[in-house]
Amino acid sequence: MLDTASAVGKAPDRGDPPGPARSRRLRPGPYLLILPALAVIAVLMLWPIGQIGVMSLQKIGNRQLRGEPAENVGLEYFRTIFADPFFWQTLRHTVLFAAVAVTLTMTVGTLIGLLLNRLGRRMANLVAGGVLVAWATPPVTAAIIFSWLFGTTGGLVNWLLDRLPDALVGGGWADYNWFATPLSTYTVLTVCVVWQACPFVAVSVLAGLKSVPDELYEAARVDGSGPWRSFWTITVPLLKPIFMVLIVMSVIWDFKVFTQLFVMSGLANRDAFNLSLYAYSEAFGSLNPKLGMGSAIAVVLTLILLVVTAVYVRVMVRQGETA
Amino acid sequence: MRRRKLRAAGFNVLGLVVFALAVFPVFWMVSTAFKPDDAIFSATPKPITLHPTLRHFGDVLGNPVAEVSFWTYFRNSLVLALVTVVASGLLALLAATAVARFRFRFRTTFLVLLLIVQMAPLEALVIPLFLDLRRLDLLNSLSGLALVYVGFSVPFAVLLLRGFVAAIPKELEEAAALDGAGPVRVFFSVLLPLVAPGLVATSIFSFITAWNEFLFAFTFLDDQDKATLPIMMQYFFGHSGNAWGSIMAASTLLTLPVIVFFLAIQRRMVSGLTAGAVKG
């Protein structure tokens, strides 16, 4: 996560110069040093990613788990899901949620970052410490707390909404069940996820802002441009690399959100599924596991995220993060 | 001058509002954990109770949750997190030294690979890893889960540590080498002490990853006496209905260590971020 940190500029390179004398002979040293990490990553991440592809073409149920060879079904699972309106519904949930959550996270996070930059040191530390509490909260507890805040018995949000004038928010909030419809479930999920994700954006934007020379803003002020204009003509272009990385990372995180939705809504509530929950539910959700089918859905999710990751890697490489 | 003061005051008020909104959910969790039941389900929720009780904490710590003691879940979580920290810290330190200190073929490829796998959807990998661990007979065991956590922590740990290793002046190592220290000695007496703060930051991140993880623990561990704290939270809903007081007390016990750790490295983290940003 934190590597967005240095996204603004190139990290200074202290490695050996790639001089001819050095590069001619292959030194085993660095390869030996990366080998253990590489092995772990290959076995635990690269190999499984390949496996999902293979598994998505196979029938893997209880009998296969007991040792029978997996039966090849070709592209059947993909044909099935693409023809199934339920798949498109989960995909729509996934995309819409990501769009709304990322927009809100970026907007609110950036505003908090700008505010932190304007505050005095002590106040900035206090506020930064406060938002870091939100960031640090485990996803499971975050989901539980928001389920409680939006709950029907003793829930604070319903109580508050019930107190507000009906003309403003409508009536009948006292027993409103937030987890009865997908739209309201996703509303709570959005609040929860945005609450946890804003701090990272805020802190990263703050780090970026600190790197912008004050003279630029002073010059702009002398030229008569207001804060709004300075923001769009100075801050946004200079922080564009940071914004790019933050947006891509947020898209990826929000696309595959699982834990919070699982805790709030569970596997029984199929109407509110996103792609992650759908894949999981097919693979593990019943006594009759369909690991091949779950893999096919996971493949779709992975392919979408690979495209987004490609954008991310391009941005990082261009900024010299890998130099 | 007066306008400026007024504006600064306005920003401070705004800052306090942001602070309040940010910490409110966690405050509400802790405050609920201390409320007696009649206050928890009262028709008018109050921010704090005048009759705080430790009963819910006592219940969680003293009574079994789904037939297993809180301390078993706690121990499982702690062991998993510590194993993850040590193993991924070691692997990451070696790899970070390689990419920060040497230029070699495939170096960029390796870094790009780290960036890619760091973004990989673990939610999708859970299906093949389930089968792999099953084949290796590592399902329903903490060591199998630890293995998976190490794999997930390493890419980010390398990327994070790389900056810390690169920040150590190479001249120090060269001086030690001139004085006759071999590479192993240089590593242990020069590099390691200097990179220790970075190792602490990396460790805390790996610790939090393992401590918070839910999906894999939920899928891979069957026995309750092997479950971790986040899984224990899930049992609460099944077994004791909506005992919100106990749920919030348990949430507090799960959350507070993470927040303390996080705030402990906050300054280093923020200054690390800023330092990275300034180097143009």
* DSSP for A279-323, written as a single string: HHHHHHSSSS--HHHHHHHHHHHHHHHHHHHHHHHHHHHHTTTT-
Residue labelled with tokens 């740990």: B157
Which chain A residues are closer than 8 Å to B114 by Cβ?
41
Sign (positive or negative) of CA dihedral B200, B201, B204, B210: negative
Greatest mean pLDDT among A235-239, B4-8, B212-216, B270-274 lies in: B212-216
pLDDT tens per residue across span B84-93 = 999 999 999 9
Specify whether the CB–CB gap between B101 and A15 falls below 8 A. yes
Name the residue among A40, A120, A280 with its Cβ closest to that of B150: A40
- Could you tell me if residue B21 is inside a domain? no
Which secondary-structure segment (H or E) carries A58? strand A58-59
pLDDT tens per residue across span B106-130 = 888 898 898 888 888 888 999 999 9
What CATH number corresponds to the domain at position A214?
1.10.3720.10
- Could you tell me if residue B16 is inside a domain? no
**Shared domain check, A157 and A238:** yes
**Shared domain check, A257 and A202:** yes
**Can you give the pLDDT at residue A3?**
42
**Shared domain check, A208 and A176:** yes
- Could you tell me if residue A193 is inside a domain? yes
**Shared domain check, A201 and A128:** yes
At residue B276 the predicted structure's pLDDT band, cuts being 50, 70 and 90, is very low
- Which of B59, B64, B101 is closest to B190 using CA atoms? B101
Q: How far is B149 from chain A (nearest CA, A)?
A: 9
- Could you tell me if residue A197 is inside a domain? yes
Report the pLDDT averaged over residues B8-22: 93
Structure-block tokens of residue A25: 């002979």
- Could you tell me if residue A125 is inside a domain? yes
- Could you tell me if residue B56 is inside a domain? no
Would you say residue B6 has pLDDT above 50? Answer: yes
**Can you give the pLDDT at residue A26?**
59
Q: How far is A6 from chain B (nearest CA, A)?
A: 4
Distance (Å, rounded) from C-alpha A14 to C-alpha A28?
19
- Rounded to 5°, the CA angle B58-B63-B64 comes to 140
Specify whether the CB–CB gap between A119 and A127 falls below 8 A. yes
Specify whether the CB–CB gap between A203 and A136 falls below 8 A. no
Q: How far is A230 from chain B (nearest CA, A)?
A: 18
Distance (Å, rounded) from C-alpha B248 to C-alpha B246?
5
At residue B268 the predicted structure's pLDDT band, cuts being 50, 70 and 90, is low
Q: How far is A320 from chain B (nearest CA, A)?
A: 10
Distance (Å, rounded) from C-alpha B199 to C-alpha A130?
25
Q: Which residue of B has its CA nearest to A304?
A: B121
Would you say residue B135 has pLDDT above 70? Answer: yes
Q: List per-residue pLDDT tens for chain A, 323 residues long.
A: 444 444 333 444 444 444 444 444 557 788 889 999 999 999 999 999 999 999 999 998 888 888 888 888 999 999 999 999 999 999 999 999 999 999 999 999 999 999 999 898 899 989 998 998 998 899 999 999 999 999 887 789 999 998 888 888 888 888 899 999 999 999 999 999 999 999 989 988 988 888 888 888 888 888 888 888 888 888 888 888 888 888 988 999 999 999 999 999 989 889 999 999 999 999 998 888 899 999 999 999 999 998 988 888 888 777 776 66
- Which of A43, A180, A16 is closest to B97 using CA atoms? A16
Asked whether the beta carbons of residue A301 and residue B215 sit closer than 8 angstroms, the reply is: no
Which chain B residues are closer than 8 Å to A284 by Cβ?
130, 219
Q: How far is A301 from chain B (nearest CA, A)?
A: 8
| Domain count across chain A | 2
Chain A residues 179-238 with a CB less than 8 Å from chain B: 195, 199, 203-204, 206-208, 210-211
Specify whether the CB–CB gap between A188 and A146 falls below 8 A. yes
- 3-state SS class at A68: coil
**Shared domain check, A253 and A159:** yes
**Shared domain check, A95 and A66:** no
**Can you give the pLDDT at residue A245?**
84
Report the pLDDT averaged over residues B240-248: 82
- Could you tell me if residue B22 is inside a domain? no
Specify whether the CB–CB gap between A294 and A283 falls below 8 A. yes
Specify whether the CB–CB gap between B79 and B205 falls below 8 A. no
- Could you tell me if residue A232 is inside a domain? yes
Specify whether the CB–CB gap between A70 and A54 falls below 8 A. no
- Which of B24, B21, B23 is closest to B13 using CA atoms? B21
Computed over every residue of chain B, the mean pLDDT equals: 87
Q: What is the CA radius of gyration of chain A?
A: 24
Chain A interface test: which of B35, B123, B137 (most A C-beta within 10 Å): B123
Distance (Å, rounded) from C-alpha A192 to C-alpha A150?
11
**Shared domain check, A147 and A202:** yes
Q: In sequence order, what are the beta bridge partners of B68?
A: B65
What CATH number corresponds to the domain at position B252?
1.10.3720.10
- Could you tell me if residue B18 is inside a domain? no
Structure-block tokens of residue B253: 């016990």
**Shared domain check, A220 and A120:** yes
Chain A residues 230-249 with a CB less than 8 Å from chain B: 242, 249
Write the CA distances from B108 to A44, A157, A320, B15, integer angstroms. 21, 50, 10, 42
**Can you give the pLDDT at residue A105?**
97
- Could you tell me if residue B205 is inside a domain? yes
- Could you tell me if residue A281 is inside a domain? no
**Can you give the pLDDT at residue B240?**
55
Give the largest CA-CA distance in chain A. Answer: 79
- 3-state SS class at A159: helix
- Could you tell me if residue A28 is inside a domain? no
**Shared domain check, A212 and A171:** yes
Asked whether the beta carbons of residue A154 and residue B219 sit closer than 8 angstroms, the reply is: no
Contacts of A217 (CB under 8 A, 6+ apart): A230, A234
| Domain count across chain B | 1
**Shared domain check, A243 and A96:** yes
Specify whether the CB–CB gap between B119 and A317 falls below 8 A. no
| B138: containing domain | 70-268
- Could you tell me if residue B60 is inside a domain? no
Specify whether the CB–CB gap between B48 and A159 falls below 8 A. no
- Could you tell me if residue A112 is inside a domain? yes
| A294: containing domain | 50-83+290-322
Distance (Å, rounded) from C-alpha A34 to C-alpha B157?
13
